[in-house]
Amino acid sequence: PKVDAALHLHELTRDLDLSAFVVFSSASSNFGGGGQANYAAANAFLDALAHQRRALGLPAVSLAWGMWEQRSEMTGDLGEADLQRIARAGLNALSSEEGLALFDDALGTDETVLVPTHVDLAALRVQARTGEVPALLRGLVRVPRRRVTAAETAQTGTGSLRDRLAGLSAADQYRALLDLVRVQVATVLGHGSPETVEPDMAFKDMGFDSLTTVELRNRLNAETGLRLSAVLVFDHPTPTALVEHLQEELLPDGGTGEPMVFAELDKLGPLLSSVMDDGETRTKVAERLKELLEKLGEASDDADATAEVAERIGSSSNDELFDFIDNELGLS
């Protein structure tokens, strides 16, 4: 109806001496939006019609409005979660006063298509970190890429989720991932607290639809670094099932601490080389390594091997200890 009405209006007035020809389009024609493909296409036609009229020497302006606070037939059925989702996308509602002022401003310009909307730059910056900003809005925000150093990571406890989970027991991994999922679900659904998200309740019973499903997937992608399916909540229909899937994806080896131990040991060789010429530091490092190796020996299930290692360590010189590390632990 919107396309037909605009086209008829154009044809019926093209021979008249009009001072203005104004059509109301929608920001969806420029930014897109989940579940709005047909609506966006119809409004894109209005924008194109305005350009066509200008090419013919006829007056025209298309106003691609953002959402207004005053409810309309289009927005009357939006719930609180829908409004919060739109706000998180960086597009706040216009008051009637703002809308009317923008309308007056638009008629005073010579632009063919304008997008009167209220853009929340702070929300856009948050979106930019996950790469979810509409293409036409990316020039409004800049998120500097800053490389976090290893020292900062150690001090702040940040780093990849996979690394943080790897140092936990399986039970603690599960709890950490469940907390993550509940927080993201609560955010997407507009709940005040993640405690309201029941672990064994089906997502469909919580009110998830295609839009909230994709938003949850995007948020989890940003948090985990994974590339999860758009039908994630259908394949894993409860928070519990989703956590189990995330655990398998992030920690396919079961998430034991073994990979991290060997990764850290691999870093030890170059560090030891850096203290070889400093006798005092070398002695302190050697004594510390002796203590660690003795603890490792005490934990061994092989009593004979433990005794042998402990005896070798206890009677070794500093040079012999470094040789032992090189030969036995493969750090040379």
Task: Output the pLDDT for position 182.
Answer: 95
Q: Residue 106 above 50 pLDDT?
A: yes
Nearest Cα to Cα of residue 239 among 271, 214, 216: 216
| 152: in domain | no
239 in the same domain as 125: no
Task: Output the pLDDT for position 148.
Answer: 42
Q: Residue 8 above 50 pLDDT?
A: yes
Q: Residue 151 above 50 pLDDT?
A: no
Nearest Cα to Cα of residue 125 among 138, 136, 141: 141
Which range has the worst mean pLDDT, 234-243, 277-286, 304-313?
A: 304-313
Give pLDDT tens digits for 35-45.
678 889 999 99
In this prediction, residues 167-193 reach a mean pLDDT of 89
Report pTM. Answer: 0.53
230 in the same domain as 113: no
201 in the same domain as 174: yes
Question: What amino acid occupies position 259?
Answer: P
Task: Output the pLDDT for position 69.
Answer: 82
CATH of the domain at 177: 1.10.1200.10
Task: Output the pLDDT for position 46.
Answer: 96
Q: Which domain holds residue 309?
A: 258-328
How far is Cα 26 from Cα 47, in angstroms, rounded to an integer? 9
Binned at pLDDT 50, 70 and 90, residue 267 comes out as low
| 148: in domain | no
175 in the same domain as 128: no
Which residues neighbour 328 within 8 Å (Cβ) at sequence distance 6 or greater? Answer: none
Q: Residue 184 above 60 pLDDT?
A: yes
Give pLDDT tens digits for 228-266.
988 888 899 999 999 999 999 988 766 555 555 555 666
Contact 199, 178 (CB under 8 A): yes
Task: Output the pLDDT for position 14.
Answer: 92
268 in the same domain as 219: no
- Highest mean pLDDT, choosing among 63-67, 100-104, 316-320: 100-104
Task: Output the pLDDT for position 330.
Answer: 47
123 in the same domain as 27: yes
Binned at pLDDT 50, 70 and 90, residue 120 comes out as confident
288 in the same domain as 164: no
In this prediction, residues 216-226 reach a mean pLDDT of 88
| 153: in domain | no
Binned at pLDDT 50, 70 and 90, residue 144 comes out as very low
The structural domain count of the chain equals 3
93 in the same domain as 14: yes
| 163: in domain | yes
